[in-house]
C-alpha cells in the first residue's frame, strides 16, 4: 500500500515533566511568584500563563494561582524573563529561609 503524505502535518514536540531528573536537587536559584503582580491572581481570571508556555521543563501549572513544581524546576529563569509584569523573581536558594 502506498504511504500517504499530509503536508499539513508537521513534527511537534512537547515537554515531559522530569525528563532532566529531579533538577530541584542542584538548582541554585528558584522562581518566586509575587501573587500581587501575577495576572491570574490579580484578576482572578485564566489569563497570561506565559511562564507556563515558555518553561522548558513543563513544570508550571497554569491555574489561579499559578504554581511551580520546584522538585523539577531547574532554575533557568526563562519564566521570570518572559513574565510581562515581572511577577517572578529568581531568588538564591541559600536566601530562601532568611
Asked if 76 interacts with ligand SF4 (CB under 6 A), we say yes
DSSP annotation of 36 reads T
Specify whether the CB–CB gap between 31 and 75 falls below 8 A: yes
DSSP string, 3-24: PP--TT--------TTTT--GG
Complex with ligand SF4: residue 18 or 76, whichever CB lies closer: 76
Residue 11 and residue 28: Cα distance in Å, rounded? 34
- The contact mask relative to ligand SF4 for 23-62 (x = CB under 6 A, - = no) is --------x-x----xxx-------xxxx---x-x-xx--
Stretch that binds ligand SF4, among 5-13, 14-22, 71-79 (CB under 6 A): 71-79
Specify whether the CB–CB gap between 51 and 88 falls below 8 A: yes
For ligand SF4, the binding residues (CB under 6 A) are: 31, 33, 38-40, 48-51, 55, 57, 59-60, 66, 68, 73-79, 83, 85, 87-88
Amino acid at each position: 500500500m502506498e504511504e500517504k503524505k499530509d503536508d499539513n502535518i508537521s513534527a511537534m514536540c512537547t515537554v515531559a515533566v522530569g525528563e532532566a531528573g529531579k533538577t530541584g536537587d542542584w538548582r541554585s536559584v528558584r522562581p518566586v511568584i509575587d501573587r500581587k503582580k501575577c495576572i491570574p491572581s490579580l484578576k482572578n481570571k485564566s489569563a497570561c500563563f506565559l511562564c507556563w508556555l515558555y518553561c522548558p521543563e513543563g513544570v508550571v501549572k497554569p491555574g489561579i494561582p499559578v504554581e511551580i513544581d520546584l522538585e523539577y524546576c531547574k532554575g533557568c529563569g526563562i519564566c521570570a524573563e518572559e513574565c510581562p509584569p515581572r511577577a517572578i523573581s529568581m531568588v538564591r536558594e541559600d536566601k530562601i529561609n532568611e
